[in-house]
């Protein structure tokens, strides 16, 4: 934590705790299965891989700055106006743009206690004050957000479905929130939208209301976490503001081509959705049978709940020793839980089996 420079950074910067990405390896263990980052176990569309390789032949060229091809593809698939779409280096960068543009010293950025860690990081980076409110049994509490807002609140972040709880709230509830906080932009972070059924990620609200903005990502169901592409959609005025602070070449040509091809391959996405839903139901039931409950998940992970922190941590160690990497979520205020990404069928069976062994040995 020692900072050798004598030049102090802006207020807020040293409040930031570094984001812990988690390991992909366990020393001395082979066949490690990584279920800790909510990645798609099937990876991206084959067409996306091919597009990435094609794009790699022109690495000496700067990418285009307006992202027209990618925005057109997103617009066609989602039925949205491409002029209201902005693309970024993951949705992380869109979250960052929002805080840079709308928050700052003397303002507040609001989110929920088990909300995504980037909201706090980006709020501090902008010099704003992060404010978090309680959830109700691991579900976003709209009334608590409304009560937590002040005249200084500029942004309200709401992951829906939420990471790491996997729960979500209905769109009428989000509309109620947006109408109650006209001084702020309500950001619906829909990184996991494709895993929920009959859900547009808040797109219709962001079309209709002046203070709702939606963020999306290629890192989850599109299987492109390594490519770093996300996007945002909302009122033209907000998109215009964000574009002013966006670096002109923020996305590489490799990223742009890969994401566009991935967006157009709907068959791959449909297959991944079906397989996730099937194994999510299976894993939730298998864990429950072994005495490990979870809330109904609308995402590509399950939040497994243990009696206490010590049990959750021993289970994590036990899994790791057998090559299964899951996510501790104490940093999200959930120390008695482990977040387990829905892998392919073999990984789900393996993790259920090892959790079962752990629970049996404890009994
Ligand atoms: N929002 C939520 C809720 C997430 O869980 C994540 C990924 N962990 C992101 C945003 C950011 O994803 P990316 O920057 O890869 O698009």
Q: In this predicted complex, what is the ipTM?
A: 0.99
Q: For 58-112, how does the pLDDT look when each residue is reduced to its tens digit (9 = 90+)?
A: 999 999 999 999 999 999 999 999 999 999 999 999 999 999 999 999 999 999 9
Give me the pLDDT at residue 256, please: 98
User: If you search the block for the tokens 């429950």, which residue do you land on?
Assistant: 288
Please indicate whether residue 115, judged by its CB atom, sits closer than 6 Å to ligand 1.
Answer: no
Cα angle value 164/166/171 (rounded, 5°): 120
Residues 242 and 84: their CA atoms lie apart, in Å, by 11
How many angstroms does the Cα of residue 2 sit away from the middle of ligand 1?
A: 29
Asked if 156 and 176 sit in the same domain, the reply is yes
Are both 90 and 64 inside the same structural domain? yes
Q: Are residues 208 and 320 in the same domain?
A: no
DSSP class of residue 42 equals T
pLDDT tens digits for 8-19?
999 899 999 887
* Together in a domain, 326 and 341: yes
Structure tokens belonging to residue 289? 């049978």
**Closest protein CA for atom 13 of ligand 1:** 90
H or E element in which residue 327 lies: strand 327-328
Measured distance CA(85)–CA(94) in Å, rounded: 11
Identify whether residues 115 and 34 lie together within a single domain: no
Does residue 2 lie within any of the structural domains?
Answer: no
The fraction of the chain above a pLDDT of 70, given in percent, is: 98
The answer to the question of residue 229 being in a domain is yes
Q: Are residues 159 and 18 located together in one domain of the fold?
A: no
Tell me what pLDDT residue 2 has: 61
Q: H-helix or E-strand containing 341?
A: strand 337-341
Question: What H or E segment, with its residue span, contains residue 27?
Answer: none
Please measure the distance between the N-terminal and C-terminal CA atoms of the chain and give it in whole angstroms: 41
116 lines ligand 1 (CB under 6 A): yes
Q: How far is the CA of 20 from the centre of ligand 1 (A)?
A: 13
- Which of 191, 224, 262, 298 to mutate for ligand 1's pocket (most ligand atoms within 8 Å of CB)? 191
pTM: 0.96
Average of pLDDT values for 289-293?
98
**Is residue 3 assigned to a domain?**
no
The pLDDT, as a whole number, for residue 1 is 53
In a domain, 211, yes or no: yes
Residues 138 and 255 in one domain: yes
pLDDT at 3 exceeding the cut of 70: no
Residues 319 and 235 in one domain: no
pLDDT at position 334 over 90: yes
Task: List Cβ neighbours of 120 (8 Å cut-off, separation of 6 or more).
Answer: 16, 109, 111, 130, 132
User: Which CATH number goes with the domain that contains 60?
Assistant: 3.40.640.10
∠ CA 286-300-184, rounded to 5° = 135
For residues 285 and 230, state if they share a domain.
no
Tally the domains of the chain. Answer: 2
Domain extent at residue 36: 13-43+267-362
């Amino acid at each position: 934590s020692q900072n050798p420079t004598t030049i102090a950074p802006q207020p807020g910067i040293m409040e930031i705790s570094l984001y812990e990405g988690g390991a992909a390896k366990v020393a001395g263990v082979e066949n490690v299965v990584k279920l800790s980052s909510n990645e798609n176990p099937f990876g991206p569309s084959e067409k996306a891989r091919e597009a990435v390789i094609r794009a790699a032949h022109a690495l000496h060229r700067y990418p285009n700055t307006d992202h027209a091809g990618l925005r057109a593809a997103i617009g066609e698939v989602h039925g949205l106006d491409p002029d209201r779409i902005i693309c970024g280096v993951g949705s992380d960068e869109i979250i960052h743009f929002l805080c840079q543009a709308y928050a700052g010293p003397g303002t507040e950025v609001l989110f929920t206690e088990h909300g995504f860690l980037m909201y706090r990081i980006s709020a501090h980076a902008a010099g704003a004050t992060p404010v978090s409110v309680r959830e109700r049994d691991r579900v976003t509490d709209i009334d608590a957000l409304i009560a937590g807002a002040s005249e200084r609140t500029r942004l309200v972040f709401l992951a829906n479905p939420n990471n790491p709880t996997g729960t979500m709230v209905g769109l009428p509830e989000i509309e109620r929130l947006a109408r109650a906080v006209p001084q702020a932009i309500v950001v619906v972070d829909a990184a996991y939208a494709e895993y929920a059924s009959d859900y547009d990620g808040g797109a219709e609200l962001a079309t209709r209301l002046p203070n709702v903005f939606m963020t999306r990502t290629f890192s989850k169901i599109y299987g492109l976490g390594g490519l770093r592409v996300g996007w945002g959609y909302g009122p033209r005025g907000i998109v215009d503001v964000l574009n002013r602070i966006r670096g002109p070449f923020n996305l590489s040509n490799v990223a742009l081509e890969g994401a566009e091809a991935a967006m157009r391959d709907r068959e791959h996405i449909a297959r991944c959705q079906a397989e996730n839903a099937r194994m999510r139901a299976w894993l939730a039931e298998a864990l429950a049978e072994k005495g490990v409950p979870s809330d109904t998940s609308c995402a590509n992970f399950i939040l497994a709940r243990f009696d206490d922190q010590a049990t959750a941590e021993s289970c994590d160690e036990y899994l790791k020793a057998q090559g299964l990497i899951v996510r501790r979520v104490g940093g999200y205020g959930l120390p008695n839980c482990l977040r387990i990404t829905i892998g392919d069928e073999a990984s789900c069976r393996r993790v259920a089996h090892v959790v079962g062994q752990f629970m049996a040995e404890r009994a």
